[in-house]
Structure 1
Amino acid sequence: MVRTLAVSYVRVADVERITPRMLRITFSGDALASLMEDRPDQQMKLCFPRPGQRVPRLPGPDAEDAYGMRWYEAYLAIPEPERPFMRSFTVRSYDPGSGLMAVDFVLHGEGGPATRWARAAGPGDVAGMVGPSSAYARPLPGAGHLLLAGDASALPAMGTILASLPAGARATVCAEVADAAEEQRFDTAAELTVRWVHRDAGASLLDAVRSAALPGEGAAAWLAGEAGTVRALRRHLVEERGLPRSAVEFSGYWRRALTQDDAPTEEDLAWARERTAGA
């Protein structure tokens, strides 16, 4: 059954500094219990108020639909000075007992609207949420050995994927972060190897993946982060390491020098067509 793409409000319950450049914000919300699923890598969008607003203006409930276009048209119909800033995130965790959802925010220097909002966030502050929805869920490729590679923006999803792996599974993580202070601990029952790639030392995520030990058969990969880097990683795994295209799940979370407020480029559209085709 395809679920509708819900539009709702969430309220800040707590703010915790995970590393110098990452905040974990915990949210409550009346709709969370009906929206959260027991699966890793639940992706959704958060909407942040414009300057002068305390609560972001969202499309009404009649804009919800199974394919996600009607609400986006309604979102674009909001006058730009009142239209909320919108960014994509991964649900880091959800506790059915407390009804609280945790989301990790990477703080990018002075940053854009999401970083500015997160730095100033406190209990009671309100954001909008679009999704998550099972209509956009993509299952992980099955494998005896899973490679996870990405930058800091991919760490929340990596954490949920690793937590879902059973005992006996094997996983390798190659994670690019600013420096050693940004390293995190992953909880998993799987046999885990982690290689941290520090930008301040000039290390390369692609080099780390190139040197990662993978079995000749039965390996799969999950890649996320800056779109250009993800493309290069995928080319290496498919063309040089021989992984089947169907064994490499990939997602460009962000684009260098562009934001989600910018129109998609031709390269973005080609990327989307390729993912949709399951290439």
Structure 2
Amino acid sequence: MAEPTYRFFDVHVLRTHRLSRSLLRVVLGGPGLETVVSGGRDQRLKLFLPQEGQEEPVLPDVLDTGWYARWRGLDPAVRGIMRTYTVRDVRRDPGELDIDFALHGDLGPASRWAAAAAPGDRAALLAPVVTDNGGVDFRPPEGTDWVLLCADETAVPAVAAILEWLPAGTPVRAWISVAGEADRIALPTKCEAEVSWVTRPSPVAAAVEAAAFPAGRPYAWLAGESALVREVRRHLVGPRAFPRASVTFTGYWRAGASEDALLEESA
């Protein structure tokens, strides 16, 4: 039997740190976290949070490859709240894992939990334990000459990790949609990166459309609100003639719909 690429971990909050007005880092600890292995870039994991009034998230009794069907079979009002997040950093000795939360104004269950998180608060993770784990979407093809990134604040953690991961000197053009100046963060990188922060209501798609692109073979990674992602992708594969295989796009969320509603739609 093949070794699992992801495993469940019981975790608790160690500390929190405000990165910007809309971005909060939660540092998690727990037994076995030193075995978590991130593939870097936009590496994702599953976070399970307790329902209101619970001390820890309710998960299926058996956490094997059939966990998802068992989780869906639990009462939605009781089962742990599942959300997908980027692994911002993972450390050993001691084992710690960072998740950066975008605190939306709607204060959904994950935002509420993160905003109130205090040392000792409990959660659970389904996290990778091998580097090549299928949870990384940012994969520039061989021969890529330059990289285009487009995101909103929910994808800033992934953008930051991508910029750290890319080889020194890689030409990068990035556009990030945020509510205001207070939502910007530093994005350290060894790339030749030009980062444009686009303050709403100015549309990020218009900024991309007006830009001059570098010469050479591009690779684009788009993430954030679904409508933003669709609009930018339409421009890239249309007027800009990007090969469709050179555009990776992910709707992290959709305006007016919770992740629970989107899960039900995809069931």
Taking structure 2 as the reference length, the TM-score comes to: 0.91
* Alignment match, 1:91: 87
* Alignment match, 2:160: 159
In 1, Cα distance between equivalents of 2:264 and 2:173: 32
Question: Structure 2 matches for 1:105-116, cutoff 5 A?
Answer: 105-116=101-112
In 2, Cα distance between equivalents of 1:222 and 1:139: 7
In 2, Cα distance between equivalents of 1:150 and 1:113: 22
Question: Structure 2 matches for 1:26-105, cutoff 5 A?
Answer: 26-60=27-61, 62-65=62-65, 70-105=66-101
Task: Count residues in correspondence.
Answer: 261
* Alignment match, 1:212: 211
Report the secondary structure of 2:87's partner residue: strand
User: Contact 1:12/1:28 (CA < 8 Å) preserved in 2?
Assistant: yes
More helix by share: 1
* Alignment match, 1:224: 223
In 2, Cα distance between equivalents of 1:194 and 1:139: 18
- 1:157 alignment partner AA: A
What RMSD in Å do the two structures reach over aligned CA positions? 1.9
Structure 1's 86 and 38: CA in aligned 2 closer, same or farther, altered over 3 A? closer
Q: Residue 119 in 1 paired to residue 119 in 2?
A: no
Residue ranges of structure 2 left out of the alignment (5+ in a row): none
User: Contact 2:34/2:91 (CA < 8 Å) preserved in 1?
Assistant: no
Q: Residue 240 in 1 paired to residue 235 in 2?
A: no
Report the secondary structure of 1:19's partner residue: coil
- C-alpha displacement at 1:2, in angstroms? 6.8
Show CA shifts across 1:5-26 (max 9, x none). 3222211111111111211100
User: Contact 2:146/2:216 (CA < 8 Å) preserved in 1?
Assistant: no
- C-alpha displacement at 1:242, in angstroms? 1.0
Report the secondary structure of 2:60's partner residue: coil
In 2, Cα distance between equivalents of 1:45 and 1:117: 15
Question: Structure 2 matches for 1:142-221, cutoff 5 A?
Answer: 142=141, 143-199=144-200, 202-221=201-220
* Alignment match, 1:131: 127
- C-alpha displacement at 1:137, in angstroms? 2.8
* Alignment match, 1:273: none
Bigger shift: residues 77-86 or 253-262: 77-86
User: Contact 2:16/2:25 (CA < 8 Å) preserved in 1?
Assistant: yes
In 2, Cα distance between equivalents of 1:157 and 1:23: 14
In 2, Cα distance between equivalents of 1:105 and 1:165: 23
- C-alpha displacement at 1:84, in angstroms? 1.4
Bigger shift: residues 72-81 or 217-226: 72-81
Report the secondary structure of 1:141's partner residue: coil
- 2:218 alignment partner AA: A
- C-alpha displacement at 1:41, in angstroms? 1.2
Structure 1's 213 and 2: CA in aligned 2 closer, same or farther, altered over 3 A? farther
User: Contact 2:71/2:79 (CA < 8 Å) preserved in 1?
Assistant: yes
- Among all aligned residue pairs of Structure 1 and Structure 2, give the percentage whose two residues are the same amino acid: 37
Report the secondary structure of 1:53's partner residue: coil
In 1, Cα distance between equivalents of 2:262 and 2:247: 26
Taking structure 1 as the reference length, the TM-score comes to: 0.87
Bigger shift: residues 150-159 or 36-45: 36-45
- C-alpha displacement at 1:223, in angstroms? 0.3
- C-alpha displacement at 1:219, in angstroms? 1.3
In 2, Cα distance between equivalents of 1:265 and 1:210: 34
Report the secondary structure of 1:159's partner residue: helix
Structure 1's 31 and 59: CA in aligned 2 closer, same or farther, altered over 3 A? farther
Show CA shifts across 1:112-148 (max 9, x none). 1001111110111111112347133335223221111
